[in-house]
Amino acid sequence: MSLVSKGKSSINMRIRDLENVLRHRRIPYPKRSVEFIALIAISCTLFLFLHTKNLNSRLKEMEVKLQPSEFSALGLTGDNHIDESKHHHDRNTLHGTYQYLKSTGQLDYLDRSSLNNTPQAEKSLIFFNRVAKVGSESLMELIDELGKLHEFEVYTNEPKSKNRVTLPDDEQKDLAEAINELNEFSVYIEHVNHINFTKFDMPRPIYINLVRDPVERVISWFFYVRGSYSNAIKYQKFPNMPLKPEKWFKKDFNHCVRTGDPECVYEQLSTGGGGDYRRQSHFFCGHDKDCLPFNSKTAIQIAKKVVEKDYAVVGSWEDTNVTLTVLEKYIPRFFKGAHVLYNIHKDRIVNQNKNRRKPKIYDDVKAMIRKNFTEEIDFYHFCKQRLYKQYIALKLDDIRATGAFSKK
């Protein structure tokens, strides 16, 4: 019995020893296997890093592509409707633009010099390629008075029997050469699209212009071309022009829009040739065929880029004080004292070429038109926001000191 017990004890000891060996035993791996596992770990980490970085880049690209406008007067990557839930301000007003810049932190980084294209001009000569029916004749009157004060010459081209704001390259070059031959400290004014003087190896002038609410502008044009004064002047200068029928002169605008008269339809992406009156953006976009389609996103983006790159000031008589302030400060050689002269000659300036017989246009008619002027309206707001931004940059110290906008 003792032998049996001794045998069992011996077996149990051997089992225990074996368990201890197995419990503490380290199974060696080949050196290459260890290196392989480490390589896999490093590769996985690198893959995850690159994939995350690529995903982040793609998300940023998608964010930009989702914005409907490439340019923005507020220095953003989108149009007038970005993140309104977070920053609910009407950026189409001066006060709203200021509040938006303040709420987004852009106010602290406003650079007055970066908003002023005047120093980029290579010749002290103003090119005012005036948009039709935006009050440009009023600004012409003011410029004439300023010319007397500051001793500069004002030149305008003779009216043509047919408006041609779009020109082929050779005619653009001829006009650029004629303007370039004018003396320093001159102003040239004409209804013509933007001309790129650099394209023709000529010094850049100082570009200025005005804009107006597109719907109000197109309504104004409808009655302007039917006005007795404008027609009398036109037929006096061009007696061989065919007369319009009486029915055309008596056409009612409200009825014209509501009934779908071809003159009041404003068909999208249609082209009306070089004298197309519907688009003020045309005067900024230029002479290329991409600028021809009405209410085109492409044409609007080109026009915005030209404004930001070339124009010293694009003002509006809807914001007279703002416009005159920016003109005075950004182009002082020509516009110093603009406020004073405007107030002295205000009655004559504001009534220049004013249509006093325009009948009431109903809200539903204007709403119908606005649906077809979406891109033109976007461009108009872009120019106004840029003007407000220039003004705020000039008045920032006063605004901070008083907590409100100053009178001038």
Q: Which two tokens stand for residue 313?
A: 């000031």
Are residues 393 and 115 in contact, defined by beta-carbon separation less than 8 angstroms?
Answer: yes
> Which residue, 375, 214, 233, 255, is CA-closest to 304?
375
The residues assigned a catalytic role are 191
CA atoms within 13 A on the CB side of 192: 22
Q: What is the helix (H) or strand (E) element at residue 285, kind and residue range? A: helix 282-285
The CA distance from 216 to 213, in Å, is 5
Which amino acid appears at position 61 of this protein?
E
Burial-class residue 239 by CB neighbours within 10 Å (0-12, 13-18, 19+): exposed
Strand ranges in 112-221 using DSSP code E only, listed in sequence order: 125-128, 153-156, 186-189, 206-210
Q: In what side-by-side order are the strands of the sheet with 125-128?
A: 153-156, 186-189, 125-128, 206-210, 311-315
The residue written with tokens 């872009």 in the block is 382
Which amino acid appears at position 95 of this protein?
H
Q: Please tell me whether residue 127 adopts helix, strand or coil conformation.
A: strand
Q: List the Cα angle 338/343/344 in 5-degree steps.
A: 100
The CA distance from 273 to 287, in Å, is 11
